[in-house]
Amino acid sequence: MRRRGAILTALGLIAAGGLALGNTPAAQAAVACKVTYTASEWQGGMSANLSIQNLGDALSNWTLTFTFPDSGQKVTQGWSATWSQSGSTVTATALDWNKSLSTGGSTSIGFNGSWSGGNPAPTDFTLNGVACNGSTPSQSPSPSPSPSRSPSPSPSPSPSPSPSPSTSPSTGAAPKLKVSGNKIVNAATGTPYRLLGVNRSGGEFMCVQGRGIWDGPVDNAAIDAMKAWNVRAVRVPLNEECWLGLSNIQSSYGGAAYQNEVKAYVDRLVAKGITPIVEMHWNYGQYTGNSSGCSDVHASCQKPMPDAQYAPQFWTGVANAFKGRDEVVFDLFNEPYPERATGSAASGWACWRDGGTCSGIPYQVAGFQSLVNAVRATGATNIIMLGGLAYSNDLSQWLQYKPTDSRNNLAAAWHVYNFNSCVSASCWDSQLAPVAAQVPLVAGEIGENTCSHGFIDQVMNWFDAKGASYLGWTWNTWDCSTGPSLISDYNGTPTAFGAGLRARLLSS
């Protein structure tokens, strides 16, 4: 969809003097900076990432400004900063978690935008009012050196202790689990059990692309590398068509071959004391409307909702495979976004629960009530997780539209990245806290595209304080910003992003 990219490094240095910070006139900081602007565009739209490097004295806060060269260029949504635009002038102000920039430190921000006419890259970047050209100041105007700071652009707060007890990672098999009130608990002991861990991507895309079943190793050695991080839960994304072995999937990668691989991996995780969370990530159904991931009818991208044609069959098969094994958790669908198609939150939530004919979605939808029913009809009693709207980032009406479950064994699933909408503690307090007070809350995916961990540190602090669960995306050796990836090799060497999650898991 995105046709071309442009990379521009904007360089600027203060010509004279510095920028005063704080209330003491003598305490000034020399500002010098470099901004790398990388943009992808398509007809009428664009997505840009900006890397800001501080080459001057340490900064306790920052504001970046630039001017769009064409009057038709607009910022429509941004992340990792507070974005505003007046005319052609764009301003990005730091958030609490990334406002400190040490000397040599950097942070990444970005935005989505629209354009008409032309889409030239901006060149006049300024940081705290000083033009960026990449040179370092010859001397600091401050009479004394600035105090040294952590080299990380996003300092990691100390982990917050969980207010409720949870079991330590088991040296034996993973425990059977159930919901008790607003907690997931060990079914045998009643002890609260938090699902803290990682996602293991691959099973959702490799098979449909004709490349295999897994992306990288999933053997016992690979699981031991996870255990070295203190991982106690692994979310395993699956592909609907591959599990069912539909005609477009190579037989060596689909049907019985795929199912047996999934079952064997789940068995290995359980034997190592790790809770598997199996989820339907990609599914059948053609959707080309608002926020479409692809025009393909097959399960090759994220669709807005599960399809009625195959999703009940998929979950009937998965539930039958794992019923009686309550150490396995079911996550019914990765990231719903029906409201993008139906046009409103109210119609989106109705589609989410009830399915059927949903405005803007050409295929018949399997609502979550029907999928809960399909699972329970098999006799399976496993915990079921349900993500909300807006790619599972919106739980505002989750309680109102919560499906009926004969087992009362439902948990709310939530996803968050630094570029989503609900990314502040105030949003979490108003939207997530009421849900977490009634049912278990699991952040099935947390991540950021900064190659650091300042944002997820804030997420983990909030969830730790609630005794809730979270899993990082993803245990794959991709780029830490575009994955984002937690590891650089399958021995478990953390990326700069993964280091934050690893430290938190080891302290839990």
Among 410, 428, 370, 416, CA closest to 390: 416
Residues 6+ apart with CB under 8 A from 23: none
324 DSSP assignment: T
| CB 446 within 8 Å of CB 470 | yes
Q: Which residues pair with 63 in a beta bridge?
A: 93
Torsions phi, psi of 166, nearest 5? -145, 155
Q: How open is the CA angle 193-195-201, to the nearest 5 degrees?
A: 160
Task: Put the strands of the sheet holding 74-79 in their side by side order.
Answer: 4-13, 32-42, 45-54, 106-114, 74-79
Instruction: Determine which helix (DSSP H) or strand (DSSP E) holds 503, and give its type and residue range.
Output: helix 498-507
Q: What is the pLDDT along the chain (508 residues), one digit of tens a residue?
A: 222 233 333 333 333 333 333 333 333 458 889 999 988 776 777 878 788 999 999 999 999 999 999 989 999 877 778 899 999 999 999 987 788 888 888 887 888 788 898 899 999 999 999 999 876 544 333 323 232 222 223 333 333 333 333 444 445 899 999 999 999 999 999 999 999 999 999 999 999 999 999 999 999 999 999 999 999 999 999 999 999 999 999 999 999 999 999 999 999 999 999 999 999 999 999 999 999 999 999 999 999 999 999 999 999 999 999 999 999 999 999 999 999 999 999 999 999 999 999 999 999 999 999 999 999 999 999 999 999 999 999 999 999 999 999 999 999 999 999 999 999 999 999 999 999 999 999 999 999 999 999 999 999 999 999 999 999 999 999 988 878 999 999 999 999 999 999 999 999 8
DSSP string, 82-120: EEEEETTEEEEE--GGG--B-TT-EEEEEEEEE-SS--P
Amino acid identity at 353: R
Torsions phi, psi of 470, nearest 5? -155, 150
The Cα 45–Cα 173 span in angstroms is: 50
The Cα 489–Cα 487 span in angstroms is: 6
Amino acid identity at 63: T
The Cα 451–Cα 483 span in angstroms is: 10
Amino acid identity at 29: A
Show the tokens assigned to 496.
């700069």
Task: Give per-residue burial for 463-476: e unless 16+ CB within 10 Å, then b.
Answer: bbebbbbbbbbbbb
The Cα 454–Cα 152 span in angstroms is: 9
Taking the whole predicted model, whether its pTM rises above 0.75 is answered as no
- What's the half-sphere exposure (Cβ side, CA atoms, 13 Å) at 338? 29
487 DSSP assignment: B
Q: Which residue has the tokens 């909702």?
A: 305
- Residue ranges of alpha helices (H) inside 345-453 are 345-354, 368-377, 389-392, 398-401, 425-427, 433-436
Show the tokens assigned to 82.
């507070």
List the beta strands (DSSP E) in 189-246.
196-199, 233-239
